[in-house]
Structure 1
Amino acid sequence: MPSPWHSHRTVPSVLCQGPSCPLPSPQPATSDASYARAGITSAQALRDIGPDAAYARLLAHGSRPHFIGYYAMVMGLQGRPWNDCKGAEETALRARFDAIVNAALADDSESLRFHRRPST
């Protein structure tokens, strides 16, 4: 049976070794090269760093902020489908994402372009 990640790819393929890897593979928004630029070269390194620090590294090394990329990475590290997060959990995850992006903006406001979906 194919992995649930094949249609929603967000974490680089180099971070995943073997068919049973719970991490998704790359999407244009977050490519192998993006993770490599940030010094994240293995699935174990990503797990060791944790999703928030890893995402901060991605932003510091030139990746543009994208909530779904962050969201899917967090879900993938938990072994969950990329779209498994709903309600209060998703709201809390969005607050974490915004805090990471705002800290990155404070560090280097000229190099990042912050794109946020309009609030409803």
Structure 2
Amino acid sequence: MAAITTIRNLGPAMERDFRKCGLTTAEEIRALGADEVYGRLIGTGVRPHFAAFLALVMGLQDRDWLSPDPTEKAQLRKRFDSIRSVTKDAQTGIEAELDRLGIRPNQGT
């Protein structure tokens, strides 16, 4: 089983975040795919960042996270917004309200 950090563009911080949603290997991430994995991350309270999603998608393609052209980047942005929207719709309570206000505390360890 390969460490998550063996996926291009993913470092120790992303590996810690993936552990929060029970993902511990590169094989698990590859099997689930970027959209599912990123949705799970957001569901654990990790604040969504397009750059992190971009790094994940490009890493799974063994590409540098800065490599997409403007058209591809726009398509990826739509995917990211869709994942974020679905995940936010599933939130309830104080977390959803804090996210709505943009004041949710950092969930990092």
TM-score of the superposition, structure 2-length normalised? Answer: 0.78
Q: Report the alpha carbon displacement of residue 44 of structure 1 after superposing the two structures with TM.
A: 0.4
CA positional deviation for 1:62: 1.2
Residue from 74, 95, 98 that aligns with 1:111: 95
Summarize the alignment of residues 1-120 of structure 1 with structure 2, pairs less than 5 Å apart: 14-16=3-5, 21-26=6-11, 28=13, 31-108=14-91, 110-111=94-95, 113=99
Please tell me the root mean square deviation across aligned C-alpha atoms, in Å.
2.1
The structure, 1 or 2, with the larger RCO (C-alpha pairs under 8 Å, 6+ apart) is 2
- Which secondary structure does the structure 2 equivalent of 1:82 belong to? coil
Taking the aligned partners of 1:105 and 1:70, their CA distance within structure 2 comes to: 16
Distance 1:27 1:66 in 2: 16
Q: Percent identity?
A: 30
**Distance in structure 1 (CA, Å) of the matches to 2:15 and 2:45:** 13
Deviates more, 1:33-42 or 1:105-114: 105-114
Q: Would you tell me which structure has more helix in proportion to its own residues?
A: 2
Counterpart amino acid of residue 111 in structure 1: E
Counterpart for residue 105 of structure 2? none
Q: Structure 1 residue 90: deviation in Å?
A: 0.5
Structure 2 CA distance, aligned partners of 1:87 and 1:24? 19
Amino acid at match of 1:41: T
Q: What residue identity is the alignment partner of 1:76?
A: G
Q: 1:75 to 1:37 in 2, by over 3 A?
A: same
Check 1:38–1:95 CA distance in 2 against 1; reply closer, same or farther (3 A cut): same
- Deviation of residue 25 (structure 1)? 3.2
Structure 1: segments with no counterpart, 5+ residues: 1-12, 116-120
